[in-house]
Amino acid sequence: MTEATLKVAIDNRGVATVTMNRPEKHNAFDDSVIAELTNAFNELAGNPEVRVMVLAAEGKSFSAGADLGWMKRMASYSYDENLRDANALAGMLKTLNTLPFPTIARVQGAAFGGAVGLVSCCDMAVAGPKASFSLSEVKIGLIPATISPYVIAAIGARAARRYFVTAERFSAESALQLGLVSELVEAEAMDATITQLVDALLANSPAAILAAKKLVLDVDNQVITDELIKDTSERIAAIRVSPEGQEGLTAFLEKRPATWVKG
């Protein structure tokens, strides 16, 4: 029996792990893998039990980006066929970027091309010492178009102007400095570091986490206008009177764990 190219598991705390499982192909993705990832993300988004998601990969590479066979097929595609494929990838990235719970990328090895987009769409990333990154599209006459909004948001326009055009490979240390990676730890400490992040997340209000994540996406790069100030004031007022807002404040004042804290 062929092993699944994507594995999804949810533990009893609501921590989902989505694992790319094509180690023999360095977890490169094609249209089928993109569809699988999209379906997995959508199913998790619709599951009210899920509190956190970890995006991981089997083998020595996180993901080599586009699969060679897929690129060979795309070379003969028409404009409309290429647009369809690009829209599918863009849709998957948007779904990942806007999942209604925190997401953590576990980057143990190389992340090239579109895989940098996957990392950028996650809320945080933990990398091991063997992780490396490359926006390699221009080497083969392409551009990192669909991933660009997320990568630029992660590393900034100045760094993107370099790495989009040089296609050079950069280290996990550089990724940490750029903000693409949140934590750089030894390989044996990766899971413990992720567990610490997960524990911190699970101590917080699920509704507040969703609202806070949406707040960042909505406020980022906005001009501070009267309308923006009004919007942010309305958001805090609304969440203060919400069920979880009331529970959180009451639990704090009563010096007890909130109802969403398990164990």
What pLDDT shows up at residue 263?
A: 65
| 49 vs 10: CA distance, rounded Å | 9
Task: Read off φ and ψ for residue 177, nearest 5 degrees.
Answer: -65, -35
Ordered by where they begin, the domains of the chain are 6-201 (3.90.226.10), 205-253 (no CATH)
| 107 vs 109: CA distance, rounded Å | 6
pLDDT above 70 as % of the chain? 98
- Locate tokens 């705390």: which residue? 13
Helix 148-155 × helix 157-166 angle, to 10°: 120
What pLDDT shows up at residue 75?
A: 80
Continuous segment of H or E residues that includes residue 117: helix 114-121
CA dihedral for 46, 49, 53, 59, sign (positive or negative): negative
Span 6-23, pLDDT tens digits: 999 999 999 999 999 999
Cα torsion at 253, 254, 259, 263 (round to 10°)?
Answer: 120
Span 35-85, pLDDT tens digits: 999 999 999 999 999 999 999 999 999 999 888 888 888 888 899 988 999
